[in-house]
Amino acid sequence: DAKTTQPNSMESNEEEPVHLPCNHSTISGTDYIHWYRQLPSQGPEYVIHGLTSNVNNRMASLAIAEDRKSSTLILHRATLRDAAVYYCILRDREGGSEKLVFGKGMKLTVNP
Amino acid sequence: DTGVSQDPRHKITKRGQNVTFRCDPISEHNRLYWYRQTLGQGPEFLTYFQNEAQLEKSRLLSDRFSAERPKGSFSTLEIQRTEQGDSAMYLCASSFKRESDTQYFGPGTRLTVL
């Protein structure tokens, strides 16, 4: 499974934008980039995914580097409810294993 | 809107006892996954079903673990002869087969083996 690298933790302030980086230098052409987050005492929650182009949804934006070796999850206005562990995951769209391979993720702290 | 549900939410058992967990996926989802998560780690894949067929099992799934999905609806995960090392959060997820295959997770069952 292709691996991703994230900082162990980040801090942000409420109502400010947050940029969460992820490196995936060994990404293959068929890998989707997925982001999930896990709030305390809950199961992981899907945030966003993309392949090549930048993506926006109601929760966040995903900016993908032109060479696809890195990506950034952008929370436009962090709230206290965004405090969670964020996981950046690669998934092969051409099948093989269907599992999600989680790393340790990155803990985001949002200060009021 | 009913998401993925799991029962029980918490289970405390003594070493050597058997336990069974249940997962009810989102109704139209044909794929169901089980993961295990220990403190400070990300979830680890255990097994997954497409409809009633169990298509992949992790090496983490020892012979004490068995999962079923009769009729392709709910699923059960049974652990026989529990050990203290089985203490973890057991997470269930479901998805509908398509290219991006987003997985939707339940709240988990926290198992404590004394």
Any idea which residue has 């979830």 for tokens? B43
pLDDT at site A76: 94
pLDDT at site B44: 94
pLDDT at site A1: 57
pLDDT at site A29: 86
Chain B, nearest residue to A93 by Cα: B99
Residue with the bigger pLDDT between A31 and A10: it is: A10
Whether A103 sits inside 8 A of B42 (CB atoms) is: yes
Cα dist from A86 to B12, B46, B71, whole Å? 29, 21, 34
The string of pLDDT tens digits covering residues A54-112 is 999 999 999 999 999 999 999 999 999 999 999 999 987 666 667 888 989 999 999 99
Does the beta carbon of A32 lie under 8 angstroms from any beta carbon of chain B?
yes
Whether B105 sits inside 8 A of A93 (CB atoms) is: no
Contact residues for B3 (Cβ-Cβ < 8 A; gap 6+): B26, B104, B106
| Distance between CA atoms of residues A36 and B105, nearest Å | 10
The mean pLDDT value of chain B amounts to: 93
The string of pLDDT tens digits covering residues A35-53 is 999 998 899 999 999 999 9
A21: which 2 tokens?
């980086």
The string of pLDDT tens digits covering residues B25-64 is 999 899 999 999 999 999 999 999 999 999 989 988 889 9
| Distance between CA atoms of residues B55 and B86, nearest Å | 23
pLDDT at site B59: 86
Cα dist from B65 to B13, B22, B34, B93, whole Å? 16, 14, 11, 18
